[in-house]
Homo-oligomer: A and B are copies of this chain.
Amino acid sequence: MKKSYLLSPGPTPVPERVLLAMAQPVIHHRTPQFSGIFAQCAEKLKGLFNTKNDVLILSSSGTGAMEASITNCFSKGEKVLVVNAGKFGERWGKIAEAYDLKVQWMNIVWGNAADPAAVKAALDADPDIKGVFIQATESSTTVKHPIKEIAAITRSRDVLLTVDGITGVGVFDIPMDEWGVDILICGSQKAMMLPPGLSFIALADRAWARADKAKNNKFYFDLKKERKNLKDKTTAYTPAVSLIYGLQEVLAMMEEETYPKLFERHAALGLAVRAGTGALGLKPVTTHYTEGMTGVFLPEGLDGKKFVKVLRDSFGVTFAGGQDDWAGKIIRIAHLGYFTEFDMVIALSSIEMALDKFKVPVKFGAGVGAAQEILRDRFEVK
């Protein structure tokens, strides 16, 4: 008998009460009953996105919302700057090219964060650049980009800042309106604790103004159409009804925990995991860790692909490995969403025992113990 533990950065575990909410009978989407739930969710999402603007709910994975930001706000032939610090930065560029934008690549060595000064220099050098695309967290490297600082540069120019917050929104605070982020995107299967299948996108006023003029191909992801439908508490096309039930429950859970405590939890679990992996001698992949996940290098010479496979198949614990350049070299431990203290204990305990299986000298309990020094403060005795 084996139990399975999902410790990957997405999909993340879905809470029991959310699973139960999604198990309700499917209702029709053109009904006042569904409209009430849908409008309530959209309204609450504004709080999560820290915006006065609409947050649109799309039935797609996060990549759909990424595509929507490009096809709705950018015209063919327009020039954009893509911060490419990993797999997901690269995706921005691929989508932009697929819709005939001219991409200027800002390639960053994996493990590093974007340098706001470099972004400023690039924009100064080329006034034709109409947009900057970046991630809040580059999940492939577990790096957090300095969104606030970059927004301070773009907001004073006619340059839209589009942030893929798929592993950022709900992980740490991204006050969209206050910082001047123009487009912010999220997906359901990360901090939102839902199965994959929904994405969320909010546009600032000047992004909507661009949408009035932009010329590009689109049909399913027509944001102006969706904004109009949202006013009528509905959607252009059939929404993923059961996921909306789940979203309603997730937003209730987040409110119960409160956003500050939610963000604090992610950060504390991250600190604990890094104390643990450090105690096991696993080297950090960055000095710019996001609060949502932790990547660490595996010992030199160890077959990382096999390591992650052994953890999954022999230990029942699913982590993410590395991608592209880092394939087989790193392991990524998630702590965004429905994770609490003992999930990190399981993560470190399983890594300790798996290292031992790979003949890496390990003092059992060393990683767990180092994490406990941080985790203990999260248990309040009344």
Chain A residues proximal to chain B, CB less than 8 Å:
1-3, 5, 23, 253, 257, 261-262, 265, 310, 313-317, 338, 340, 342-343, 345-346, 349-350, 352-354, 356-357, 363-370, 372-373, 375-376, 379-382
Complex: chain B residue closest to A354, CB-CB: B379
CB distance from A315 to the nearest CB of B (A): 5
**With A and B bound together, what is the CA distance between A53 and B1 in angstroms?**
29
A313 / chain B contacts, CB cutoff of 8 Å: 382
CB distance from A370 to the nearest CB of B (A): 7
A352 / chain B contacts, CB cutoff of 8 Å: 372
**Set B346, B353, B367, B381: member contacting A310, Cβ < 8 A:** B381
The answer to whether A372 and B357 have CB atoms under 8 Å apart is no
**Set B253, B310, B365: member contacting A369, Cβ < 8 A:** B365
In addition to A1-B257, A353-B375, 4 A-B residue pairs with Cβ atoms within 8 Å of each other are A3-B342, A314-B380, A364-B369, A365-B369
A364 / chain B contacts, CB cutoff of 8 Å: 365, 368-370, 372-373, 376
List the number of copies, as a whole number: 2
9 contacts between A and B (CB under 8 A): A314-B381, A345-B349, A345-B368, A346-B346, A353-B376, A363-B369, A364-B365, A364-B376, A365-B368
CB distance from A3 to the nearest CB of B (A): 5
Complex: chain B residue closest to A262, CB-CB: B1
The 5 closest A-B pairs by CB, nearest first: A365-B369, A365-B365, A364-B369, A364-B372, A345-B349
**With A and B bound together, what is the CA distance between A346 and B354 in angstroms?**
17
The answer to whether A350 and B340 have CB atoms under 8 Å apart is no
A369 / chain B contacts, CB cutoff of 8 Å: 363-366, 368-369
**With A and B bound together, what is the CA distance between A196 and B261 in angstroms?**
36
The answer to whether A3 and B340 have CB atoms under 8 Å apart is yes
A368 / chain B contacts, CB cutoff of 8 Å: 345, 349, 364-365, 368-369
